[in-house]
Amino acid sequence: MENLMNLADLFTPRARELVPPLWGPSAASEGTPTISLAYGLADPLVLPREELVETTAQILATDVDAVLNYAPVAAELVTLVAERLRREGVAAHEQQVIITYGSSQILGLLPQILVNPGDTILVEAPTFMGAVGLFVRAGAQLVGVPVDANGLDVDALETVLRDLRARGVRPKFIYTIPNFQNPTGTTLSLARRQRIVALAAEYGVIVVEDDAYSDLRFHGEPLPPMAALDQEGWVLRVGTFSKILAPGLRVGWAHGPKALIDRLRMVKVEGSSSPFISHLVARFSAEGRLDTHITSLRRHYAAKCATMITALHRELPELPFVPPDGGFFIWLRLPEGVSGRELEPVALQQGVEVLHGNRCYADGSGAEYVRLAFSYVPETQIAGAIQRLGNSIRAVMR
């Protein structure tokens, strides 16, 4: 009888396999407070708290039904997203934009319309661990395609596509992060963008272009998104306000082929994503305020990145990494024989939290790397954090 009353028996087999999400900086350890370099959180110093308070008062003083009742997302937000896309050269249409609870929601919904258990998705190796979790959860087979200093290796991509075709497998999509990739910080070259778009058309595969970081460019000129190069309608461009405004607002979007966007709307069962927050973001962003804010973010994060690079060159001069042109991350190669998995707890003891590289690979490889986020740590603590990391690496080597 007791067995029959066990609550866990009610879970579906899929629910039983779930693991808790990785989430946020660890609680401070006893003694020295931990400095976290593990997660791509926004710097609290640049979250525009006062402006959002003012903007909240403004929107609440307008149309209460539109803002606080059951209502669609603000049309102004859809227009804002479409206009920003047109500025990047994408032939964007408002009807082809969907607003969601963060771009993560898109990555969670996509498998619902594209993936049966056993279907293939191509991902960069390494890639954004949150996406890996969502795709694996849907039962997808992930095939990793390597990333080098210029982003996704397109020769390797072509080989994988050819081999899969020879086995009668048509992958559902290629998931790529073209700018300041999470976790490697690398940027996909223009020639590679063109080649990926051509391969997508040749093989009939969707490209999911997750460009969470493109606005946070510190150096160099922006490159056209693949959505702007695509003539055949294979690219779904995914973006977020998390990195340029505030992650806590949970506002993301996608633009792409109408048939795909329409299906995404149909599986987004809760309907519109917070009318209130969508009005808030639209009003905050109006009259060039978002652009001004992004300009100051770029300066802020560029300085922190430079500070981390200087500290790494001083503390660990022999360890290679590609200096990122933007974004939140540095991907550090560890000395021969030191694994990130082994390093992580030692570093935590020394008071610095890092993310070991295995977490960013679908197949658990990447032991020789750690990801360092410079976004969240106060700039004054970066040098100290890297010093602790250096001590930890030397301790593991002994």
Ligand X SMILES: Cc1ncc(COP(=O)(O)O)c(C=O)c1O
Residues 83/85/87/91 CA torsion (nearest 10 deg): -100
354 binds ligand X per the rule CB under 6 A: no
Judged by CB under 6 A, the number of residues near ligand X is 14
Residue 34 contacts ligand X per CB under 6 A: no
Region near ligand X per CB under 6 A, out of 101-109, 155-163, 374-382, 387-395 = 101-109
Q: At its nearest, how many Å lie between ligand X and the CB of residue 64?
A: 28
Interface with ligand X, residue 316, by CB under 6 A: no
Q: Within 10 A of 189 (CB to CB), how many other CB atoms are there?
A: 16
Give residues 244-283 in contact with ligand X (rule: CB under 6 A): 247, 252
How far from chain centre, in Å, is Cα 1? 47
Give the span between the Cα atoms of 318 and 203, in whole angstroms.
Answer: 42
Distance CA 184, CA 126 (A): 7
Query: Does position 144 bind ligand X by CB under 6 A?
Result: no
Whole-number Å distance between alpha carbons of 125 and 133: 14
Candidate segments 49-57, 97-105, 350-358, 373-381, binder of ligand X by CB under 6 A: 97-105
The answer to whether 144 touches 357, Cβ cutoff 8 Å, is no
Rule CB under 6 A: choose which of 161, 177, 196, 228 binds ligand X: 177
Contact status: 212 vs ligand X (CB under 6 A):
yes
**Interaction between residue 240 and ligand X (CB under 6 A):** yes
Q: Which residue in 173, 180, 182 sits closest to 128, CA to CA?
A: 182
Distance, CA of 240 to CA of 229 (rounded, Å):
21
Contact by Cβ (8 Å): 371, 329: yes
| Token pair belonging to 389 | 């990391």
* Stretch touching ligand X by CB under 6 A, among 20-28, 69-77, 102-110, 189-197: 102-110
Choose, by CB under 6 A, the member of 210, 325, 344, 353 that binds ligand X. 210
Stretch that binds ligand X, among 65-73, 96-104, 265-273, 332-340 (CB under 6 A): 96-104
**Residues in the site for ligand X, rule: CB under 6 A?**
40, 102-104, 128, 130, 177, 182, 210, 212, 240, 242, 247, 252
